[in-house]
Amino acid sequence: MNRESKYKSNVKVLSILLSTFLFGIAVTIYDPIWPFIVKEADISPSQYSYVVFTSQVLEFASRWFSSGYLTPSASFVIGSLSISFSMGILLYTISPSTIYTSFSILRLGRALHFLGRGQIIGRIFKKRGLAFSVFRLSSQIGMLLGPVLGYLIYSMLSRNFIFLSGLLLGMFSAVVFLPYIKEIPKTVRRGLLFWRGGVNRDVKIVAGLTFINNMARQTFIPFHFIVAPYLFNVDPGYIALAAFLERGVSMLSSVPIGWLSDKIGDKRVILIFSEAMLSIGILFYI
């Protein structure tokens, strides 16, 4: 590889990293005020469960269908633009219908962006494990800084500027990647992707533990910020701090947990440990 081609390759990698970083900020920038606009729309936590359920079904369906029909570049770009659209809806008005629509589109955008990112990494990098870790870290840093930036904008300006910032950041995330769309292989495996492997005892155990893990997470995590205005006398600053700490701990713990997973033969121990940590978090509310 000559110097010019190496330079272009480095610029491409940095551009995609920047795109994932901007996406991370855009998708979390409204976290500090989200519980309060949900309350303003007069959506109770019980009603919010329907919003979460529908959006998660949409996210699952989008991952399933797009993996078989969309190119990696299309998934990546549509995901970023979906975040912009979800923020634009909130700029228009705050109501139950706009909350529902915005949240559903945001979850759809997250799913498509992360799916496209994974497929792009698999097609253009030889060291896929390292590349995935680096790109995941880039988006995690963005998601770590998003709530902080959102609170600063809210403190100095207004919440509409948060939505406007999210809209622009989502657009910039897509625009930064656009010059490289033609360079990403467009091979798509047509049709829906089903599991073609055997279902042995280990697969059943892992599938069962994963199901239980996700059931526990999804019955708590979507709501632990939403119920804050109802249970505690908090302002957006506390929500921003909580979101920052939550993602910071997640980011810092990923490496030691991965190391621990390599050292422990029975991977079920990791899932049990994860459930224990989640249970401790729930106990704080009790």
Task: Quick: pLDDT tens for 120-151.
Answer: 776 666 665 666 667 777 888 888 888 889 99
- Model pLDDT for residues 55-88, shown as the tens digit of each residue: 777 777 777 766 666 677 777 888 888 889 999 8
Residue 67 has a pLDDT of: 61
The rounded distance, in Å, linking the Cα atoms of 78 and 111 is 10
Residue 105 has a pLDDT of: 87
Q: Which domains does the chain have, with CATH numbers?
A: 3-183 (1.20.1250.20), 201-285 (no CATH)
- Model pLDDT for residues 222-274, shown as the tens digit of each residue: 666 677 666 667 777 777 887 787 777 777 766 566 566 656 666 566 666 66
